[in-house]
């Protein structure tokens, strides 16, 4: 009989509940029809959001939800998604099928959805096709409590009080769909953008784009540049890696060997966590910057008969096991991967590069 002994005197660390967060992108039917149907829909909804989805997520209790992407984030201009919905521009979703995005779900709607399900919003800003001013104004629109024009606009859109968005990503996958930057070029852009992600009286948690999968070179070159040129720059609290373990067979058709192959590929998350944290430790030994993995999972061939750019795939028990083993890795390395650190423990004050 197998026995497991737990040594209560040798703790690893406190598990951050934010590792159980979720990710919502304007991709396929995730946003439109998936969580949003509009107030006039015959589908039961609250403020346009599906009641069945709200109920399901409330049971899951996600601590944080990341939006609007994904690749979509670096071609999303937030001002398209404010004001009366009837007046919002219709934009082409260049990444996911070139379908028309009506911008019916914008900042106000997303934050409202987070409040309905009990999650904190995590907004991913546009570095690839956006501007520093655009991201800076987005933070002001969300968080400024005074009487500026953007605060007045927020009030006119239905929220006189600040939306209090704590978590801000500076770009997404900027090594790829977010602009194809080198680590050094992205580091320079990150520092420039993050300098203007100010809290307006609120402590923020600012997140840099990390590597594709377990790319140690990306991480090393980013932090070498950050340390060499901007050694005292502190408005960085998280560093986000992405890892998709791919497929073996298809989503629903696979051999016994392929079943285990996919589980094994999912377990490659463990060396990613260990090695990425070690690479960060070389520049950040006090671990002021948290290692985040804010995109991960399986990735199967698109189901036949569906839009190939909607990435539709059926989930099975095999996918659930990959998810379970991934979360177990995060739990067992609670001292290394935090998804999102507690902002109260972050060094310095967001918006103050010297940590004052």
pLDDT confidence of residue 10? 83
pLDDT confidence of residue 253? 96
Q: How many CA atoms lie within 13 A of 21 on its CB side?
A: 27
pLDDT confidence of residue 234? 87
In the chain, where the domains are located: 21-345
Which regions in the chain score pLDDT beneath 70? 230-231, 340-356
CATH topology of domain 21-345: TIM Barrel (3.20.20)
Does the active-site annotation cover 173?
yes
> How many angstroms separate the CA atoms of 121 and 282, rounded?
31
Helix/strand/coil for 145: coil
Residues with Cβ within 8 Å of residue 157, at least 6 apart in sequence: 82, 83, 108
pLDDT confidence of residue 1? 81
Count, in order, helices (H) and strands (E) of the chain.
9, 11
pLDDT confidence of residue 209? 98
Distances (CA, A) of 327 to 189, 266, 295, 322: 32, 11, 12, 9
> How many angstroms separate the CA atoms of 152 and 241, rounded?
36
Does the active-site annotation cover 39?
no
pLDDT confidence of residue 61? 95
Two structure tokens written together for 63: 């601590």
- Contact between 207 and 240 under an 8 Å Cβ cutoff? The reply is yes
Two structure tokens written together for 92: 């082409």
pLDDT confidence of residue 27? 97
> How many angstroms separate the CA atoms of 10 and 334, rounded?
13
pTM of the model: 0.93
Q: Which of 25, 140, 173, 189 is catalytic?
A: 173
- State pLDDT tens for residues 120-137: 999 999 999 999 999 999
Q: Which of 140, 295, 303, 304 is catalytic?
A: 295
Query: Which string of DSSP letters, residue by residue, matches 148-160?
Result: -HHHHHHHHTT-S
Query: Which string of DSSP letters, residue by residue, matches 174-211?
Result: TTTTTT---HHHHHHHHHHHHTT---TTS--EEEEEEE
């Amino acid at each position: 009989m197998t026995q497991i002994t737990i040594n209560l005197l040798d703790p690893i660390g406190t598990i951050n509940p934010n590792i159980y967060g979720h990710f919502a992108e304007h991709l396929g039917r995730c946003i439109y029809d998936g969580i949003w149907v509009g107030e006039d829909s015959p589908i039961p909804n609250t403020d346009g959001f599906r009641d069945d989805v709200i109920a399901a997520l409330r049971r899951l209790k996600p601590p944080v939800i990341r939006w609007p992407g994904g690749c979509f984030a670096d071609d999303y201009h937030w001002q398209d998604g404010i004001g009366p919905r009837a007046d919002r521009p219709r934009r082409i979703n260049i990444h996911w099928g070139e379908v028309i995005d009506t911008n019916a779900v914008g900042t106000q709607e997303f934050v409202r959805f987070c409040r309905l399900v009990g999650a904190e919003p995590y907004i991913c800003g546009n570095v690839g096709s956006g501007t520093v001013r655009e991201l800076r104004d987005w933070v002001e629109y969300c968080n400024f409590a005074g009487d500026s024009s953007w605060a007045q606009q927020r009030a006119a859109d239905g929220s006189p009080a600040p939306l209090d968005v704590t978590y801000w990503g500076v770009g997404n996958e900027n090594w790829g769909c977010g602009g194809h930057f080198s680590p050094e070029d992205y580091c320079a852009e990150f520092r420039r953008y993050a300098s203007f992600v100010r809290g307006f009286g609120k402590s923020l948690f600012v997140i840099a784009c990390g590597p594709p999968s377990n790319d140690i070179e990306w991480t090393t070159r980013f932090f070498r540049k950050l340390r060499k040129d901007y050694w005292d720059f502190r408005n960085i609290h998280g560093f986000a890696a992405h890892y998709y373990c791919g497929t073996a067979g298809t989503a629903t058709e696979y051999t016994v060997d392929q079943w285990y192959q996919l589980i094994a590929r999912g377990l490659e998350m463990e060396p990613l966590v260990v090695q990425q944290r070690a690479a960060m430790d070389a520049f950040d030994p006090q671990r002021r910057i948290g290692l985040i993995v804010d995109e991960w999972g399986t990735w199967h061939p698109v189901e036949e008969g569906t839009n190939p750019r909607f990435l539709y795939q059926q989930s099975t028990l095999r996918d659930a096991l990959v998810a379970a083993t991934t979360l177990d890795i995060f739990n067992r390395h609670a001292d290394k991967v935090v998804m999102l650190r507690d902002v109260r423990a972050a060094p310095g004050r967001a918006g103050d590069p010297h940590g004052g």
